[in-house]
Amino acid sequence: MRSCGIKSYVRRSGRMSDAQRQAYETLRSPYAVPFSPTFLNYEALFRSIQPLIIEIGFGMGVATAQIAQDNPQINYLGIEVHRPGIGRLLREIESRGLLNLRIIEADAVEVIQSMIPDHTVQGFHVFFPDPWPKKRHHKRRLISRPFTDLLARKLHSGGYCYLVTDWADYGEWALRELAATDHLVNPHGGFAPPKSWRPKTAFERKGLAQGHGIYEIWCEAVQ
Detail the DSSP E strand segments found in 94-197: 101-105, 121-127, 155-165, 184-185
Among 27, 77, 142, 143, the residue binding ligand SAM under the rule CB under 6 A is: 142
Amino acid, res. 41? N
Q: Are 32 and 105 in contact (CB under 8 A)?
A: yes
Within 13 Å, how many C-alpha atoms sit on residue 17's CB side? 10
* Among 105-113, 145-153, 154-162, 174-182, the segment contacting ligand SAM (CB under 6 A): 105-113
Report the residue closest to ligand SAM, judged by CB: 57
Site string for ligand SAM, 45-64 (x = CB under 6 A): -----------xxxx-----
Amino acid, res. 150? L
Which long-range contacts link 187-191 to residues 24+ away (Cβ below 8 Å)? 187/218, 187/220, 188/218, 191/215, 191/216, 191/217
Applying CB under 6 A, does 166 fall inside the site for ligand SAM? no
Q: Is 118 marked active-site?
A: no
User: Out of 130, 166, 169, 182, which one is annotated catalytic?
Assistant: 130
Among 24, 46, 124, 203, the residue binding ligand SAM under the rule CB under 6 A is: 203
* Among 69-77, 124-132, 146-154, 214-222, the segment contacting ligand SAM (CB under 6 A): 124-132
Residues lying near ligand SAM in the complex (CB under 6 A): 8-9, 56-59, 79-82, 85, 107-109, 127-130, 142, 201-204
